[in-house]
Amino acid sequence: MWGHRSEILKTTWGFGMDLQLQGKVALVTGSSKGIGEAIARTLALEGATVIVHGRDKAQAQRVAADILASGGRGHVVVGDLTFDEQVQRIVEEAGERAGPVDILVNNAGGSGGVKESWATTEPASWTTAYDRNVLSAVRMTTRLLPQMQARRWGRVVNISSLAATMAPASSPGYAACKAAMNAMTSSLAKAVASSGITVNAISPGTIHSDALDARFREVAAEKGLADRDAPWDAIERAVLPLFAEVPVGRTGEPEEVARAVAFLVSPLAGYITGTNLRIDGGLSPVI
């Protein structure tokens, strides 16, 4: 499979573009599942050596093992990015196992599964969310930036959210964190632009995940719209309009986010920096 790259690229991208990621080392935080896992797998497919990160060692090892079994190059680092000493250890282990990191994808974070309203939100939860999303990315970036600057080449991609620019009434702390990541992206891009380093953000919209799948099925059953065990396309068709009026009429797939990341971190995207790429099926009204 891996010996026929042109065929793989045609299958993945629809055409034979070589993203020139052979020999690059990529560290993807929070890549033991979900969007992060899709990013790790896609970068490995494109020839990069991928450092799979997570807090669950077994999950991270599963992803890395699959990459290796498919002929790719992958390693595992484990740790909590809200602790400085663990971040330092992760960076050191990544360097020992794969060499200097060329590409950093700050994907770890998320809402933590907590749903808050303005009636229930507490400052402490905002602090926790900020540490998990923004400061975790800052810790990783500031430790890896010097080696990128020394080599005068590097890529940083921050996984934000459409919530940053289309903030919902609920989960205000999470939306504020992602808005901060967008501002951080813009500032850093300007600071390192002359060093051969690009910094961009990606804001996914409604992306299919295990959690979203379960929630949609729950709503479908509660409202009598479809059987809980119906095929996904039937669930999606019935429930998506209740959550978001997505113009393309479907949820996105993690691989669609991953392919955008793969392009942005490639040498082919060297003139793209400071951007916030929305992958939302046309949901955002912002041009």
Residue 69 and residue 102: Cα distance in Å, rounded? 23
3-state secondary structure of 34: helix
CA-based R_g, the chain, Å:
19
Distance (Å, rounded) from C-alpha 268 to C-alpha 236? 35
Q: Which two structure tokens, joined as six digits, stand for 88?
A: 């330092």
CB 75 within 8 A of CB 49: yes
β-bridge pairing 197-204 and 276-279: parallel
Strand order in the sheet with 276-279: 73-78, 49-54, 25-28, 103-106, 154-159, 197-204, 276-279
Question: Contact 110/94 with Cβ under 8 angstroms?
Answer: no
Kindly state the tokens that stand for 12. Answer: 């993945």
Q: Which residues are catalytic?
A: 174
